[in-house]
Amino acid sequence: MNIRKPVMSELDNILRIYACAREQMKKNGNPSQWGDDKPKLQTIIQDIKNEYSYIIENEGKICGVFALLFGEEPSYRIIEGKWTNDKPYGTIHRVASDGSVKGILKECLDFCEKQAGNIRIDTHEDNKIMQHLLGKYGYIKCGIIHVEDGSPRIAYQKCTLDIGRP
């Protein structure tokens, strides 16, 4: 698989992937995390323009998408719980797959961990698949954060940096 930044002309493919992901979420008992309209079109366009967006290709076909942002994530300022550290971090958002290839999340996580050795990510309480996979890949459940609309999300963190822990 190959990971790269998309160009605006690939927007329709990215929208197709998000549509597939919303349907899969609904089928797997998670109808409300993204509902029928998330992520918002404007957010996806801004991700591409700001170069936060990445696509995952398999044999030349776009099959996954995610955003990787650096700097403070406003929704992560307040946590009911505790982050594993307070060092600078990258945040993964809007991970989606069209379901055609297994291992999209693992590819995303591996890539992001190479870009930033300290990663934070969150997911909806109904997204049992994501919760299971994050645990499987070494992410630690840190607590609950609230996203922009006030709804709660389970927050995870993984640090591969040597930050002086015993």
| Domains of the chain, first to last | 2-159 (3.40.630.30)
At 69-88, the pLDDT tens digits run 999 999 999 999 999 999 99
Compute the distance between CA of residue 127 and CA of residue 52 in angstroms, rounded to an integer.
23
Locate tokens 């099959």: which residue?
A: 63
Min mean pLDDT across 2-11, 108-117, 134-143, 153-162 is at 153-162
Compute the distance between CA of residue 127 and CA of residue 103 in angstroms, rounded to an integer.
17
Instruction: Taking each helix axis as running N to C, give the angle between helix 104-115 and helix 128-136, from 0 to 180 degrees, rounded to the nearest 10.
Output: 50
Answering whether pTM is above 0.85, one says: yes
pLDDT at 34: 82
Neighbours of 28 (CB within 10 A): 13
β-partners of residue 5 are none
Compute the distance between CA of residue 6 and CA of residue 137 in angstroms, rounded to an integer.
26
Say how far residue 132 (Cα) sits from the centre of its chain: 14
Which residue in 42, 22, 20 sits closest to 31, CA to CA?
22
pLDDT at 162: 65
How do 90-97 and 118-123 pair as beta strands?
parallel
